[in-house]
A = this chain, B = another copy of it.
Amino acid sequence: MSKLTDVPKRILIGRALRSDRLGETLLPKRIALPVFASDPLSSVAYAPGEVLLVLSIAGVSAYHFSPWIAVAVVVLMFTVVASYRQNVHAYPSGGGDYEVATTNLGPKAGLTVASALLVDYVLTVAVSISSGIENLGSAIPFVVEHKVLCAAAVILLLTLMNLRGVRESGALFAIPTYVFVAGVFTMIAWGAFRGLVLGDAMHAPTADYQIKPEHQGLAGFALVFLLLRAFSSGCAALTGVEAISNGVPAFRKPKSKNAATTLAMMGLLAVTMFCGIIALAATTKVRMAENPAVDLIHNGVAVGADYVQNPVISQVAEAVFGKGSFLFIVLAAATALVLFLAANTAYNGFPLLGSILAQDRYLPRQLHTRGDRLAFSNGIVLLAGAAMLLVWIYGADSTRLIQLYIVGVFVSFTLSQIGMVRHWNRHLATERDQAKRRHMVRSRAINAFGAFFTGLVLVVVLLTKFTHGAWVALLGMCIFFATMTAIRRHYDRVAAEIAAPDTPGEDTVRPSRVHSVVLISKIHRPALRALSYAKLLRSGTLEALSVNVDATETKALRDEWERRGIDVPLKVLDSPYREVTRPVIEYVKSLRKESPRDVVSVIIPEYVVGHWYEHLLHNQSALRLKGRLLFTPGVMVTSVPYQLESSEAAKKRARRRQDWNAPGAVRRGPAAHHDRTKESSPSA
């Protein structure tokens, strides 16, 4: 495991070199926990606040419902953790929800889950970074004054880091995550000690603020709806729980058992922290409002647009540790850092899911190859662009962004659990061993309850949040779904078109001879090399071809051809309009017309240069000609490269590029265990 100090070094020095041992490094539980749990654990930094925000609509009196909402979230958390422990045992390959849904519910359900997850990755970045900025801002006012700018800067930094291929290391995750967890637990313990033992009255900075309720005296259906909305917001604490089920191959043996244990630990930690913060918020009288500028009253006056509403966790820390105290600063920094790490997990997850989808031909094939740099780069840039857009549109306001979140998570939770129920049904149909059957029935019951509960939450989330922003997330899912369906349809159509005929030889007329044509513009080394290679091919006929765009030059070419005694006939095409492409294409077509069973082989000498800008200066007409020739049937196009001196640089660059290490390797586990998509995908 590399050390934390490696990170700045790598950023300065450049991409990490390939380590063949990396693939074989497996994670012990104490490292796996922070690697996979930074996302769900970090969400306790914003989830409690969201609950209070929604309740504040009915006035501060509604705050007394917050423990009940916490209880509901805890029950949900235990349900989801219990359900995913079943997934981890049943699908140790790390395929995650996409695999479970595809295998058990069919490709449409799988694609729905995939769309939901892709949208969710984008939102993980946007929400985590916005919330991180808000937490950092509680310690450093400058940051919160330039929220969007700072959030954009962090996204850019993460993007660059991931594009350069900074390798994930367990320590990178372990230290801030453990500092964060320790900080929150210290806060809860110290707060409990001060409150219960010392009897201190701790006051949050907003303790003496009043809230002007937007709706006075809510009751009946309206109150229930509000509580459900508050619960929906609290569910933000559950995002990222499924991450471990994607990462089973990265665990030490026994993989499934270790993963399940880690999942339970994570659930326990998250729940304790969530409840502790809710309890401290109630004790220290944290006051939050959805529209603080208008609804938060201090000394009888609304606080106005300049007021910055700090996150619950930082208000509580201020009350417990004291404003500006060392522990307060440490906790704020650790919170921000864990949130940024949570965002970073999406940078690994998005391209990884992309490569699985590509294997199933829902995304361009080039995303498939593991560790392919270009593919990862495209995925990373797409993710960063979408997150940046959301951050910009929503002003880096985590509260508004959270309205979009959660929908995707619960779509994938629900479908995955329904899939698991089907999985057990299928296995129960054939399993005869009574002990195993009992076990399966128990698992099925857990998953069925999970499916029911998460499905219920999904309905609640859709009902309470649709107009608040959930529709944006749904729209995003539809776009992903439609795009991927179209790509798959294209691949299927092409596959049908190019399928080899069953009986060999059925495929129309057999070509009989090759007519080779070497394109010559003037006599130089590349041209001479192309001629000598062409001669070696011993095709039916061989001729050199030049286009007369300039009479003087053509004459010089003919003269030199004769002087050198080149034993290949030189044919010159006229080009009244000084074009090169058209006369060549027409000549090739005329050759084909004369003898349709012949194949025309066009041989083009090409320079190879080292820099992209040099490339702009060469080969453009050759490139265009090649592009056109490819559309002409019965043609093969051969490039004979001539390496110029400057090409050495490009060769080195290409080699370095191949040694590049894709980010997210740690959590994906070794390559050998990675063939799990076999089951669900047609071999393409």
Interface of A with B (CB < 8 Å)? 364-366, 369-372, 374, 487, 490-491, 494-495, 497-501, 504, 507, 510-514, 523-529, 532-533, 536-539, 549-550, 552-553, 556, 564-566, 576-582, 599, 601, 603, 606-609, 614, 616-618, 620-621, 624, 626-631, 633, 635-645, 647, 650-651, 654, 658, 671, 675, 678, 683
Contact = CB atoms under 8 A, between A and B. Distances in A.
Contact of A500 (B525, B565, B616): B525
A499 B511 contact: no
Nearest to A538: B538
Contacts of A599: 533, 536
11 contacts: A369-B549, A369-B621, A371-B577, A490-B617, A497-B645, A507-B525, A511-B532, A533-B599, A577-B671, A628-B654, A631-B650
B641 A630 contact: yes
Nearest to A608: B630
A500 B514 contact: no
A629 to B, nearest CB: 8
Nearest to A553: B683
A617 B549 CA distance: 37
Given A497-B645, A614-B490, A637 B636 contact: no
A626 B640 CA distance: 11
B620 A365 contact: yes
B498 A607 contact: yes
B524 A500 contact: yes
A631 B645 CA distance: 11
Nearest to A642: B498
A642 B523 CA distance: 32
A552 B631 contact: no
A620 B375 CA distance: 10
Contacts of A639: 626, 630, 636-638
Contacts of A678: 552
* Top 9 closest pairs, chain A to chain B, by CB: A366-B620, A630-B641, A638-B638, A498-B524, A631-B651, A498-B525, A370-B578, A514-B536, A637-B639
Contacts of A499: 524-525
A616 B671 contact: no
A56 to B, nearest CB: 44
B654 A364 contact: no
Given A494-B644, A507-B528, 13 more contacts: A365-B621, A366-B620, A369-B579, A369-B621, A490-B614, A507-B525, A512-B536, A514-B533, A514-B537, A533-B636, A577-B671, A579-B658, A603-B636
A657 B501 CA distance: 36
Nearest to A510: B532
A514 B640 CA distance: 13
A536 B639 CA distance: 18
A370 to B, nearest CB: 5
Contacts of A513: 536
Contact of A630 (B524, B552, B606): B606
Given A499-B524, A565-B504, A643 B631 contact: yes
Given A537-B539, A582-B658, A618-B365, A641 B650 contact: no
A683 B631 CA distance: 32
A500 to B, nearest CB: 5
A134 to B, nearest CB: 36
A645 B608 CA distance: 33
A371 B552 CA distance: 21
Contacts of A620: 364-366, 374
A501 B372 CA distance: 42
A637 B601 CA distance: 12
A417 B54 CA distance: 80
A621 B370 contact: no
B617 A631 contact: no
A583 to B, nearest CB: 11
